[in-house]
């Protein structure tokens, strides 16, 4: 169910961004029309043959002195070791093997994570192959020559990457314990929540099936049912540079969200919702996960009978791209509404995997079309033949039409609203794919 994570590590200027952009193609992660949501090209979804994975670029800013470069590379490599299933170590055939490469290679080798050594800027295989072999000396396996900018060798590289994926990655896991990622800015109360939930019996699960990551997962039993909480809180890295810290926290959030069924986005009730919260929430939205917005520290908020409505309005406005998200006001400190939190988690988990029969779905469709005619353009009217649900997590529907061009997003949204009225689906986004029937 969770996609493998591949991280690219390498010195400045070896071509990390170029490779990242080529592989990501159109899929660079940007939430369109969502103000405040991250536009940094830090992660992207990549599909190769029948496999897909999340790629992260661990490279941050580019300092100019050599010892800073080495310490930065170590930092990057550590992030990759902590978070990735496969590490791509990118070097540059034109610069040749340098000391920093050897040091980082040592570090990667000791980590026991699979490493794919990729030699970039091999724009001509004839001219540069002898130089490529030099990189055998790094002791991390066979160097794969590519040219990111001319798109050479990428297929062989991808074959090698996907070979190292955990066996069942990307498939539905057998064990059905819900996995919940708790994300949010520093100091919103993530650790406090998890500590409160586990009380004395904190169990650290170090080996979740299908992942090789050093997970900080906590198993919680609540009224006889089990849940795994994925914690990003204890994983703060002491970087010196603000951009680095932010990049690290984005990567952490992405990988935690990737593995979760439901994401609890924590907001500091005392501070109110901020743009930073919107960025973090955007990650959960893009990944199609179930979402619960938990406004924490509710015990410390001065309230009157309008406070909760004021908060609700402000949050719905700031996070307008996720109207489906459940909203709940809690206190990790006093335990306020933690019972509700679990009930909400159960509901969202169920809604993420809800399947609607095609017959029932099409009754709703017919009714919806009768109430509001499909749009037309230059004399041609949209015809919707039928609709069927093709998958869950998130629930995904294919709509068969006469002409895709005529399917305006506002009509898709209208249909979504009708479906939600009929079946709920609270807490989960819905995905629609429009197809022309041949």
CA gap 227, 221 in Å, rounded: 6
Mask: binding to ligand GDP, 222-241, rule CB under 6 A, as x and -? -----------x--------
Q: Considering the rule CB under 6 A, would residue 121 count as an interface residue with ligand GDP? A: yes
| Nearer of residues 2 and 331 to ligand GDP, judged by Cβ | 331
Question: Exposure pattern of 379-418 as b/e (b: 16+ CB <10 Å)?
Answer: eeebebeebebeeebbbbbebbbbeeebbeeebeebbbeb
Is residue 147 close enough to count as binding ligand GDP by CB under 6 A? yes
Tokens read off for 191: 């650790």
Query: Judged by CB under 6 A, does residue 188 bind ligand GDP?
Result: yes
Kindly provide the b/e burial profile for residues 163-198, where b requires at least 16 CB atoms within 10 angstroms of the residue's own CB: ebbbeebeeebeeeebbbbbbbbeebbbebbbebbb
Out of 14, 116, 216, 384, point to the residue binding ligand GDP (CB under 6 A).
14
335 binds ligand GDP (CB under 6 A): no
Query: Contact, 323 vs 416, CB < 8 A?
Result: no
Which CB atom, from 301 or from 348, has the smaller least distance to ligand GDP? 301
Minimum CB distance to ligand GDP smaller for 114 or for 269: 269
Q: What is the CA radius of gyration of the chain?
A: 24
Determine if 16 is a binding residue for ligand GDP (CB under 6 A). Answer: yes
104 near ligand GDP, judged by CB under 6 A: no
Q: How many CB atoms lie within 10 A of CB 160?
A: 18
Which of helix, strand or coil describes residue 297? coil
Coil, helix or strand for 316? helix
Chain positions 248 to 287 lying near ligand GDP, rule: CB under 6 A, are none
12 makes contact with ligand GDP (CB under 6 A): yes
> Which of the ranges 108-116, 184-192, 280-288, 372-380 carries the binding residues for ligand GDP, by CB under 6 A?
184-192
Does 18 engage in binding with ligand GDP (CB under 6 A)?
A: yes
Task: Enter the DSSP assignment of 302.
Answer: -
Comparing CB distances to ligand GDP, the nearer of 59 and 429 is 59
| Binding-site size, ligand GDP (CB under 6 A) | 32
Among 102, 203, 300, 390, binds ligand GDP (CB under 6 A): 300
C-alpha to C-alpha distances, 104 to 80, 161, 280, 386, nearest whole angstrom: 12, 19, 30, 55
Answer yes or no: are the C-beta atoms of 61 and 76 closer than 8 Å.
no
CB atoms within 10 A of CB 67: 9
Nearer to ligand GDP, 17 or 274 (CB): 17
Q: Does 190 participate in binding ligand GDP (rule CB under 6 A)?
A: yes
Per CB under 6 A, 113 contacts ligand GDP: no
For position 358 contacting ligand GDP by CB under 6 A, the verdict is: no
Cα 291 to Cα 261: distance, rounded to the nearest angstrom: 9
| Beta carbon nearer to ligand GDP, 104 or 387 | 104
Binding site for ligand GDP (CB under 6 A): 10, 12-18, 59, 120-121, 123, 147-150, 184, 186-192, 233, 296-297, 299-300, 331-333
């Amino acid at each position: 169910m969770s996609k493998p994570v591949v991280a690219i590590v390498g010195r400045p200027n070896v071509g990390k961004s170029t490779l990242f952009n080529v592989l990501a193609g159109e899929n660079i992660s940007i939430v369109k029309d969502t103000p405040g949501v991250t536009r940094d090209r830090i992660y992207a979804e990549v599909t190769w043959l029948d496999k897909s994975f999340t790629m992260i670029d661990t490279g941050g800013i580019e300092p100019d002195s050599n010892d800073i470069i080495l310490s930065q590379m170590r930092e990057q490599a550590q992030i990759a070791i902590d978070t990735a299933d496969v590490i791509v170590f990118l070097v540059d055939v034109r610069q040749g093997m340098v000391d920093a490469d050897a040091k980082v290679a040592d570090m990667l080798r000791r980590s026991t994570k699979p490493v794919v050594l990729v030699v970039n800027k091999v724009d001509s295989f004839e001219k540069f192959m002898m130089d490529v072999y030099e990189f055998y000396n790094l002791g991390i396996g066979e160097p794969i020559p590519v040219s990111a900018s001319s798109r050479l060798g990428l297929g062989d590289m991808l074959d090698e990457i996907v070979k190292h994926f955990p066996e069942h990655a990307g498939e539905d896991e057998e064990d059905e314990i819900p996995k919940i990622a708790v994300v949010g800015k520093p100091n919103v109360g993530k650790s406090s929540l998890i500590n409160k939930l586990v009380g004395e019996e904190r169990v650290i699960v170090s080996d979740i099936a299908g992942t090789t990551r050093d997970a900080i997962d906590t198993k919680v039993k609540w009224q006889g049912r089990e849940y795994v909480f994925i914690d990003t809180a204890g994983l703060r890295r002491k970087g010196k540079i603000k951009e680095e810290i932010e990049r690290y926290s984005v990567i952490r959030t992405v990988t935690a969200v990737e593995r979760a069924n439901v994401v609890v986005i924590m907001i500091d009730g005392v501070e109110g919702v901020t743009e930073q919260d919107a960025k973090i929430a955007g990650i959960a939205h893009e990944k199609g996960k179930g979402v619960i917005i938990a406004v924490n520290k509710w015990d410390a908020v001065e309230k009157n009978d309008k406070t909760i409505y004021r908060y609700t309005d402000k949050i719905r406005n700031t996070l307008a791209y996720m109207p489906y998200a459940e909203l709940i006001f809690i206190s990790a400190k006093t335990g306020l509404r933690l019972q509700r939190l679990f009930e909400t988690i159960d509901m969202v988990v169920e809604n993420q995997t809800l399947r609607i029969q095609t017959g029932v779905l099409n009754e709703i469709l017919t009714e919806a079309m009768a109430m509001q005619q499909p749009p037309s353009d230059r004399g041609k009217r949209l015809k919707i033949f039928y609709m069927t649900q093709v998958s869950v997590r998130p629930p995904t529907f294919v709509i068969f039409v006469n002409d895709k061009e005529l399917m305006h997003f506002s009509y898709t949204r209208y249909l979504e609203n009708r479906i939600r009225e009929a079946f709920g689906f609270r807490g989960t986004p819905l995905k629609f794919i429009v197809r022309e029937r041949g």
